[in-house]
Amino acid sequence: MSNLARTERLRLVDTANRAGEDAPTLCEGWTTRDLATHLVIRERHPVAALGIFMPKLEGKREEQERVYAAMPYSSLLGLVASPPRWTPGRWPGVESVMNTAEYIVHHEDIRRAEIEWIPRRLSLPENRAVWTACRTALLPFAAKAEGRVTIVGPGFGQHSTGRKSGGSKGGAQGLTITGEPVEILLYLMGREDHALVDVK
């Protein structure tokens, strides 16, 4: 369901606009402006975006960050809302893989950094799309785990991957994460302290 990525993009922009450019996020050290800048660079300057992971490209990333730091916040959010025509995220079949998890998680990064927040209720089709994203996110998560990892989404099924035996994280019995698709996705994407899941 690729249009969930588009819908969530606009929801994130709306939430970021209401929060203001200096609002905190769950991304340590990032304000909503920083997060919006990351999203714009990711789509419009993919080489510079690699500077997050590759020190030799850090200068390119910082250069682009300075450009967007001078831009009015409303204009920056406008770029988030309207991706460039040439981005791979516009290709059929690519948008959902590239952007669904990205925008769901970063939207929650803004929402859950607030003092008071409540879980959102997504539609059944939207939850199915998030569940698909969970299965994709499970692969890199399980690759770092010591045992087999199982995700259980009541009403959506369960999926397991990883080694069948191991040590600390999950142990020989493995690790089972149960919850709503959005909550599981947040857990798998490093937001363990803010995900409403049952972990055994």
Average pLDDT for 165-182: 75
Would you tell me how many other CB atoms lie within 10 Å of the CB of residue 65? 17
pLDDT of amino acid 181: 98
The gap between the terminal CA atoms of the chain, to the nearest Å, is 30
Confidence band for 49, pLDDT divided at 50, 70 and 90: low
181 touches 117 (CB < 8 A): no
- Choose the weakest-confidence range: 33-37, 74-78, 169-173: 169-173
- Region of 112 (left: φ > 0; alpha: ψ -120 to 50; beta: rest) is alpha
Is residue 82 over pLDDT 90?
yes
Structure tokens of 170?
Answer: 């999950």
Is residue 9 over pLDDT 60?
yes
Tell if the pTM clears 0.95, that is, is over it.
Answer: no
SS3 122: coil
Mean predicted lDDT score pLDDT of the chain: 90
